Homo-oligomer: A and B are copies of this chain.
Amino acid sequence: GYGRFGILYNDTAAGDSTDVTSRFRLQIDATAESDAGVVFGARARIQQNNSDEQQSINEGPDNVLGTADDFAENAGPAGTGINGVRFFARTGGFEVGVGNIFGALESMPGQYPIDLGLTGLGYDYTAFGGNGDAYSSGGNGAAGSNGVEVMYSAGDLSVHVSASDTNDRVAGYVAYTWSGWTFAVGGQDSDDAGDTEFTATAGGSFGIADVTLAFADNGTNGDRVVLAGRFDVGAATDVEVYVADQDGAGNDTGYGVDFNHDLGGGVSLRGGVAHRFNGDDRADMGVRFNF
């Protein structure tokens, strides 16, 4: 897992704020291997963000729980349990997953071309915009909703199909790598008009930079186009940038830039700033350490 902590600045139409930001992620990977070489396993996470809110019931003025003056309130991050569990069976390049599945669109090459700043700064650079099944580090994902997926890779080819009862989603992608460039196309069928219908990405290296271009038709959530790049600017430092355009009412162009500096031992200093589609500005800086 990893930990990260630092400062997050948020400037919205309602005002601005500067707060401590933190995340703790403890990852539990448990596996067994049959005599035939099939690996069976489960992945769970205990992840707590400083901004998580557990709910509690306030007893109200009468100080008695279970009476009419009780009311619900947010009660801070403590009390975090494990997320929805993902189970899998894997052999060779073939893997079947159930539960809190990764999701085909979420796993598609080019959807997360960069990892901006310390916190992601809103992830406006993810073309499909989360409008599909995705592994949830703190919630259910498709666990409890009959999430199932099949993944296959052979050489330069990778294929991923996933389905769940959430909006009756069925999604898939095919990706192929050719001369160092990876091309991927994905599609989804769903009951939700705001779910992604089609998405395509292309990514590779120009020598001085890794560049990704991505497009998604996210139904009533609008089309999104993203151009993102990563530049090495020293032995231990890189800079990431993106510019993205989002269709729809009140939306506009977004852009961002960050740096990541490796301190060794699994520790890195990270920071970035982004102008979001909705007009907000967000900046962060801090430390991430892997354990």
Contacts and interface: CB of A to CB of B under 8 A. Distances in A.
A9 interface: no
Contacts of A50: 99, 143-144
Interface residues of A, number: 75
A46 B77 contact: no
A24 B44 contact: yes
A103 B52 CA distance: 22
A83 B78 contact: yes
Interface string A178-189: 000000000000
A65 interface: yes
A140 B36 CA distance: 39
A243 interface: no
A79 B81 contact: yes
A264 B32 CA distance: 9
Interface string A270-291: 0000000000000000010111
Interface string A72-88: 11111111111111010
Interface string A142-158: 01111110000000000
Nearest to A287: B40
A48 B44 contact: yes
The oligomer's copy count stands at 3
Nearest to A36: B263
B289 A20 contact: no
A81 B84 contact: no
Interface string A93-114: 0000011100000000000000
24 contacts: A3-B42, A3-B85, A5-B87, A20-B146, A20-B147, A22-B143, A24-B30, A24-B42, A24-B82, A30-B291, A31-B291, A32-B267, A35-B263, A36-B263, A40-B289, A41-B289, A46-B82, A48-B85, A65-B72, A65-B73, A76-B140, A76-B143, A78-B83, A81-B82
Closest 5 CB pairs of A and B: A35-B264, A76-B140, A32-B289, A34-B263, A30-B291
